Amino acid sequence: MADDLFKTAREAMGRAHAPYSKFPVGAAIRADDGKVYAGANIEVISFPEGWCAETTAIGHMVMAGGRRIEEVAVIAEKMARCTPCGGCRQRLAEFGTPDTRIHLCDASGIVETVTLAELLPLAFDSEALK
């Protein structure tokens, strides 16, 4: 069932702009609207200005009207089971729930599925600002 997410993430990885790290990453989000949003990492010659595949996918989702993340697939060309970076964990938490599933993939499919709660325990969340 999440196989379509894996395939979309793998296709998105092909559109990465990663000439500096040479570490292409792809991500695909299934949102509450039932749609799938893809993203790849986009790097910039001023290195800190680049951003991750998950962030691109979140931007696509938000601009299309999706708000909740149900599941995500992440794939990196050079690494089996690439996990989202710390910043992306926080961004995913902004639009996900502790139960949101993160599928970690290699070139042939999903290798492992974890929850957002497992990736970002003790998350800083909106309770903090109340």
Q: Is residue 71 a contact residue for ligand THU (CB under 6 A)?
A: no
Kindly state the smallest distance separating residue 52's Cβ from ligand THU, in Å. Answer: 3
Residue 70: which residues within 8 A CB-CB, separation 6 or more? 30, 31, 32, 96, 100, 101
Residue type, 53: A
| Element containing residue 101 per DSSP (H, E) | strand 101-106
116 lies in the site for ligand THU, by CB under 6 A: no
Residue 97 in contact with ligand THU, rule: CB under 6 A: no
Instruction: Mark whether 43 is an active-site residue.
Output: no
Catalytic member of 54, 70, 71, 112: 54
How far is residue 43's CA from residue 99's CA, in Å, rounded to a whole number? 30
Residue 73 within binding range of ligand THU, rule CB under 6 A? no
Indicate which residues carry an active-site annotation. 54
